[in-house]
Chain A
Amino acid sequence: MSIKKLEPAALNRWVDGILQKQKVYGIQARGDKFVFDQLDRADQLRLDYDVSVTAPKAFLQPPCETLLRFGEKGFESVVESEPFVLFGVHPYDMAAILQMDVVFAEGNPDIHYLERRKNATIVVCDVQNASENVFAGCMGTAVLESGGDVLVTRVGSAYVVESRSARGEALMETIATAPVAGARDLGERKAVWEKNRKLLRRHELKVKPEQLPALLEKSYDHPVWEEKAKRCFSCGSCNLVCPTCYCFNVRDTVSYNLKDGERERVWDGCMLAEFALVAGGHNFRKKKAERYRHRYYRKGKYLHDMHKQIACVGCGRCITACVTKIANPVEIYNRLAEGQK
């Protein structure tokens, strides 16, 4: 696997070269924030971004996608996907994608996700500027040892570009002749990693992530759920911005002949009031506090029980997105830990 060193101009040339051949969704500025959107020119890339408004999961599990089409001939699968490059994914978001990979591949593999995933080449880029609420450092996701196809790290005024997979290697074909990153560059990159592990801690989790399942095990009746949930809008913002949330709803739409149509899947969220409502009116998580608790349990325990990974990567998006400021996982977990002492 190659490791190259590129000056900014060379990086841009490389990206412009990719743009000739492939569709690229790259991180770019939108007003004073950053979003992943189709890239027209390399100089739109903003690898110095802090956090993207929407998590890159949207390119693998879009907010709304067609699963099936139906009509006279019955149902047929729709798997709409073409090769693309996702450029500039931060390590914590990559960690979240790796979790989604497990969820959609295990048991009953989901071809809609997996096809898109197969078509995606992901360029991970190490964080240059910490966002307002990031705590990936506490979650072990500030830096990623593996995962993604290419890793781009800014060292000094240049970039170290490393391929991490065959697909990444192919993406770097056009820079095969670029200088190889030397020991000094790699040393500097290591320093960046060390720095990021320390820096991406805008909130300090007082327990180790591994301890969360056991901590939650004992906290089902903790007063914090009721206390915080009083202020919850049941708006689902914390779910929808989260890179590890993937729950969905399914609905049918029909055309005017009332026969042809599509079955779509759309993002959903466990914080929404009717998420667990069944026909007949029984709601299995009727109270705000029950839904509020469920979200923390799902992130910190339930999914961990299944996949041995905490389903929070510390991106901090939920902290920002929650209008009433009650969605901060660190605050809640610390609060639970306090009681334990």
Chain B
Amino acid sequence: MSKPRVAIFDFACCEGCQLQVVNLEEELLDVLSVVTPVEWREAMSEQSEEYDIAIIEGSITRPEDEERVKKIRERAKILIALGACATTGGVNKLKNNFGMDEVRTIVYGKDAAMPHLNTMPTKSVAEVVKVDYMVHGCPINNKEFTYIVRCLVMGKQPVIPNYPVCVECKMRGNVCRYEYGEICLGPVTRAGCNAPCPSAGFWCFGCRGYVDDPNVQAAREVMDKYGKTVEDLKSRLLLFGSKQEHTDE
């Protein structure tokens, strides 16, 4: 594809993933040498309806957003989900553990019924439209993002790891968080982030979503070895894995 036109759209999210794109600093100019941005609300005033690649950040939480994302899908040749909110629903899905009236009341109290505060259970972008590529993570790893962009421009299928974070964690020479009696989600979480959290002494909380075949059952079985309970594990799995297939097993 010769210099595709790219548009970036955001839905319910913290915009941290777009920030990661800005954080490429000078490298952003290199990215602009292989793609032409035609719409990017956070960084520029131009807007366009013609684009080859649509990059979508954020979760879908309102019926009107569902319509908007469908329209974007119709126009785009390639659709990329950017970041956990878009790929899995991210933390936004924690909301789905409650009833919608309940969350509205918790946050807006007596005003909860006002129409503009309407909300629906959070969906990932893939739950609404077909997603061609996923850039996982909360926030994304911007190196992985540019790798995917270059792959697309070259016509190459990007290779996204389907092995756990432990692989990258070990390559970075870390001591396992379990040795300190902490619950780390590294063993069931898809790698590709280069394990920044365990490398900084914090457990992996699973922001990239699960590997294809996560052994959540094994994780349950070892909890007592580390003085933890299955409930502790579930609670952590919920953060980014709410209503993902394996959390409730």
Contacts and interface: CB of A to CB of B under 8 A. Distances in A.
- When A and B assemble into the complex, do they touch directly, with CB atoms less than 8 Å apart? yes
Interface of A: 31, 33, 35, 53-54, 58, 63-64, 230-237, 240-241, 251, 253-256, 258, 266-267, 269, 272-274, 288, 320-321, 323-325
Nearest to A33: B175
Contacts of B154: 254, 258
15 contacts: A35-B173, A63-B171, A231-B218, A233-B215, A234-B164, A235-B166, A237-B166, A237-B170, A237-B176, A251-B159, A254-B150, A256-B31, A267-B167, A269-B167, A324-B221
Given A232-B218, A258-B154, A267-B171, A325 B225 contact: yes
A337 to B, nearest CB: 25
B222 interface: yes
Interface in B183-233: 184, 186-188, 211-215, 217-219, 221-222, 225
Interface string B144-166: 00010010011000010011101
A273 B163 contact: yes
Query: What are the 3 A-B residue pairs with the smallest beta carbon separation, nearest first?
Result: A240-B170, A235-B166, A233-B187
Given A233-B215, A324-B222, A53 B174 contact: yes
* Interface size band for B: 35 or more
B128 interface: no
Interface of B: 30-31, 33-34, 147, 150, 153-154, 159, 162-164, 166-167, 170-176, 178-179, 184, 186-188, 211-215, 217-219, 221-222, 225
Contacts of A241: 170
Nearest to B153: A258
A233 B171 contact: no
B222 A323 contact: yes
Contacts of B212: 273
Given A251-B159, A325-B222, A325-B225, A233 B173 contact: no
B215 A240 contact: no
A235 B163 contact: yes
A58 B173 contact: yes
User: Which of A64, A232, A254 counts the most B-chain CB atoms under 10 A from its CB?
Assistant: A254
B218 A230 contact: yes
Say whether chain A's binding surface is mostly helix, strand, loop, or mixed: loop
B164 A231 contact: no
Contact of B187 (A54, A235, A288): A235
Contacts of B31: 256
A232 B225 CA distance: 15
A274 B170 contact: no
A254 B215 CA distance: 34
A82 to B, nearest CB: 21
B164 A235 contact: yes
A272 B147 CA distance: 23
B30 A233 contact: no
A238 B204 CA distance: 19
Contacts of A63: 171-172
A272 B167 CA distance: 9
B33 A233 contact: no
A254 B158 CA distance: 12
Contacts of A64: 171
Nearest to A321: B176
Contact of A233 (B147, B153, B166, B172): B166
Given A233-B218, A251-B159, 7 more contacts: A33-B175, A232-B218, A236-B163, A237-B176, A240-B166, A320-B179, A323-B187
Contacts of B215: 231-234, 288
A233 B150 CA distance: 32
Contacts of B170: 54, 236-237, 240-241, 321
Nearest to B179: A320
Contacts of B30: 255-256
Nearest to B174: A53
User: Which of B172, B173, B219 counts the most A-chain CB atoms under 10 A from its CB?
Assistant: B173
A134 to B, nearest CB: 16
A58 B172 CA distance: 10
Contacts of B187: 233, 235, 323-324
Contacts of A31: 175
A101 B141 CA distance: 36
